[in-house]
A and B are shown apart, each in its own frame.
Chain A
Amino acid sequence: MRVSMDIELKDVPGQMLLALQPLSECRANLITVLHHHQKRTPRNTVPVQLVLEIRPESIEAIKAKLEENGIRVVRVGEHRFRESINVVLIGHVVHTGIQDTIDEIDKTGFAEVVDISLSMPGIDLLSSALIKIDAVGKEDMQKALNILKEVSAKKDLLMVLPIDVQA
């Protein structure tokens, strides 16, 4: 699971090591570190943003170890969705029930339609939609796209996928 974590370090040497040791001990994979040394908190500490890949059960242990080391953990947020793609749909997107199309993806639990742009130039003309789908992982995205493919075939919609996705 991918997790973002905001922590605060005291502005004295050796603090970063104290912050990273617990991550290593809990086998967390550090994806990004943003060390905002110029920014100071009202407490005169240095804010640091981390993104980690960890097992969910390790979160509490990491928090506890960081706090043992005197590091304040301000926020822990789950990055649930790691995959995101745009898909274009062309056809009678609205009249064939766009809500239903979105629901088919959303109800999977592992993927969601998170954005949609829609253009309906005229009653007799084809509509076009650009939808953004987020999914937990690559395989889940592929499953979501397979569902969308079935729905599109049923509704006679043309689905235009990104070039790097298996069609």
Chain B
Amino acid sequence: MKTVRCSIIGFGAIGQGVAEVLLMKREYLESIGLDVRVVAVVDSKGATVNPDGVDLADCLARKREKGTVALEKLTGLEVIKSVEHELVIETTPTNIKTGGAGLQNMLAAFEMGRDVVTSNKGPLAMKYRELVETAKAAGCRFRFEATVGGSMPVINLVNEVLAGNNVRSIKGILNGTCNYILSRMIEEKASYSDILAESMELGIAETDPSYDVEGIDTACKLVILANAIFGLDATYRDVGVTGITKITPEALDMAYKNGHVIKLIGEVSRDRIHVAPRLVPINHPLAVGGTLNVASVDTELAGEITVTGKGAGSIETASAILSDLVAIYRDC
């Protein structure tokens, strides 16, 4: 049995999802020879640390009751630097302007020789090259499937399952909030602002929805794909971005009568990174509804491969984090 000591830095919806999934999957992990022991859990107010392993069920209960997991006044960065462990699971809120605390956490983890698995897009969209090179120089493993498409496999699908294929392009719906809004506008023939309000009420859209509806979130995911799959050194500034705020119910209706839906489509290839609303034929593989995400990978040998799945949700995103964790430690 190999012991993997890890920290969960960031204990919001996704961090808690990771804790739940680790509890759920303890037997499975043991069956493949892994004893995954969480030695620290950190949220914005502080940390719980136990070098022998914290009680995750306790952490989840404390978070639910008190709004924080904190028993000690320690930050994520302090935990990464002072607590011995192999893997940092970085799930702090994303910041696409500076990379935020996530960037500092990841760099510090590599500096301490720790592997990193993350769902945090901001640092990767801003400083991909620096992060990957730092990890490499330190001999650390760095995986981030959960940053693009939530549970839907894209990065590992292309780099591992489809290894050897040249990828010509990836097109898809990478933001569930926009997909929900556009799908509901067609169903209800309602205005953008009405459906946006509904989405906020249901918790599908954030209180400040601009990050989603202006296409910024999709753009960040494309940047990660451009770097991780096409080997580019792209940042958010290289993306042409148009969001969905101007889409009218009348436009959706006319398009629908003409056999099309309008979807916010992200598109990445070696020479182009682009986000814009596009007309998609109703029977096209990318015309999925609700909050679903979908990606179509155009490959040289395998042709077109399309995957679809839940792009958000704590357990779904934790599924991608778990698969990254297993991929790092299963065979080593």
Contacts and interface: CB of A to CB of B under 8 A. Distances in A.
Contact of A121 (B240, B248, B267): B248
Interface in B165-182: 171
Contacts of B171: 163
B277 interface: yes
Contacts of A119: 248, 250-251, 253-254
Interface string A126-149: 111110000000000000000000
Interface stretch (A16-24, A37-45, A62-70, A85-93): A85-93
Interface stretch (B47-55, B66-74, B116-124, B279-287): B279-287
Contacts of B260: 86, 162
Interface in A73-93: 86-88, 90-91
Contacts of A1: none
A125 B247 CA distance: 11
A12 to B, nearest CB: 44
Interface in A105-139: 117, 119, 121, 125-130
Nearest to A160: B277
B276 A167 contact: yes
B278 A90 contact: no
Contacts of A167: 240, 267, 274, 276, 278
B78 to A, nearest CB: 46
A31 interface: no
A28 interface: no
A109 B265 CA distance: 32
A30 interface: no
Contact of A90 (B247, B265, B274, B279): B247
B186 to A, nearest CB: 13
B246 A88 contact: no
B254 A90 contact: no
A55 to B, nearest CB: 33
B242 interface: yes
B251 A163 contact: no
A119 B189 CA distance: 13
B276 A88 contact: no
Contact of B250 (A91, A121, A162): A121
A88 B284 contact: no
B262 interface: yes
Given A86-B258, A91-B246, A160 B284 contact: no
A154 to B, nearest CB: 16
B255 interface: yes
A61 interface: no
Contacts of A88: 251, 254-255, 262, 279
B248 A128 contact: yes
Contacts of A130: 251, 254-255, 258
Contacts of B240: 167
Interface string B233-276: 00000001010001110110111001010110101000000101
Contacts of A54: none
A140 B248 CA distance: 29
A158 interface: yes
B279 A163 contact: yes
A46 B301 CA distance: 47
B286 A158 contact: no
Contacts of B281: 163
A161 interface: yes
A117 B284 CA distance: 23
B280 A163 contact: yes
A150 to B, nearest CB: 15
Nearest to A91: B246
A160 B258 contact: no
Given A126-B248, A128-B250, 10 more contacts: A88-B251, A88-B279, A90-B246, A90-B248, A90-B251, A158-B246, A160-B262, A160-B277, A162-B279, A163-B284
14 contacts: A86-B255, A88-B255, A119-B248, A119-B250, A121-B248, A125-B248, A127-B248, A128-B248, A128-B250, A158-B242, A158-B277, A162-B260, A162-B280, A167-B267
Interface of A: 86-88, 90-91, 117, 119, 121, 125-130, 158, 160-163, 167
Q: Which 7 A-B pairs have the closest CB atoms?
A: A119-B250, A128-B251, A130-B254, A128-B250, A163-B278, A158-B246, A162-B279
